[in-house]
Amino acid sequence: MNLPVLDRLWVYLSASPLLYLLVTLLAFIAATRINRRLGGTPFLHPVIIAIVMLIGFLKLTRTDYATYFEGAQFIHFLLGPATVALAIPLYDYRERVRRMLLPILLGCGAGIVTAVTSTVGLAMLMGASRETVLTLAPRSVTSPIAMGIAEKLGGIPSLAAGLVLLTGSVGCALGPVIFRLVKVRDPSVQGFAMGLAAHGFGTAHSFSSIGAVAGAFAGLSMGLTGLFTAFLLPPIVHLFGL
């Protein structure tokens, strides 16, 4: 094949959504393999690796994000129904929730207030711009919900998604250290804290490295945190005058 033909083929392919949909899936598969090779470290989560690879690919081929998103939007769209599906694990744990309703609600409330006030307070103290603060605010909530909240608040949804992912990695790495420091050993409590502070990453991490009970509680707190934060965050942010 000579160069002009390749060139024309590229022009044709890059104009269709197919290419970017396929590239996204391939990048994710490759990233999952790389992460497994590295022993499943939370610092280099498959999602982070996939994003870095895709950004590299787009920069190399001089493709802008809007063009990429035409193809990738088919994957992105599924975030909506996936958020709705979080109701299923919540329903599965309804018995446990009913039994521990008070500790769960208070723990969830305390966690959310800590997450939001410390995030907004610190970011403002260190002189971050208003846009950055509003984008950071929902960072401990699972991505689809965080993006929705950031959009409603006046933050930047795609940046919020990135920060949520980073929060997840940081939470998985910090979790074991923090639990040792505050001397908390109960796996259900550890899982609950992981799900609250590090959403889906924390949930996956709890399942794989603490145990099934921890994973179940992480899933529960992730769902509850998402739901409550959506309601609690706008008034808290208003308190900070934003």
Partner 1 sequence: MPLILGMSILLGCQFIGEILVHALHLPVPGPVLGMAVLLVGLMVNGRVPAGLRTSGEGLLRYLTLLFVPAGVGIMVHFGLIEADFWPIVVTLVVSTALTLAVTAKVMERLTRSTPRDPRDALREDRS
151 binds partner 1 (CB under 8 A): yes
Of 1-9, 10-18, 36-44, 185-193: span binding partner 1 (CB under 8 A): 185-193
Contacts of 227 (CB under 8 A, 6+ apart): 145
Residues 107-136 that bind partner 1 (CB under 8 A): 107-108, 110-111, 114-115, 118-119, 122-123, 126-129, 131-132, 136
Residues 64-93 that bind partner 1 (CB under 8 A): 65, 68-69, 72-73, 75-76, 78-92
Residues 9-38 that bind partner 1 (CB under 8 A): 24-25, 27-28
The answer for 72, left when phi > 0, alpha when psi is -120 to 50, beta otherwise, is alpha
Q: How far is the CB of 204 from partner 1 (least distance, A)?
A: 8
The pair of structure tokens assigned to 142 is 């699972």
Rg of the chain in Å (alpha carbons):
20
Nearer to partner 1, 9 or 113 (CB): 113
Contacts of 166 (CB under 8 A, 6+ apart): 48, 139
188 binds partner 1 (CB under 8 A): yes
Q: How far is the CB of 131 from partner 1 (least distance, A)?
A: 7
Q: What residue has token string 């940046």?
A: 159
Find, among 201, 226, 242, the residue nearest to 87 by Cα: 226
Spatial separation of the C-alpha atoms in residues 180 and 176, rounded to whole Å: 6
Q: How far is the CB of 143 from partner 1 (least distance, A)?
A: 5
242 binds partner 1 (CB under 8 A): no
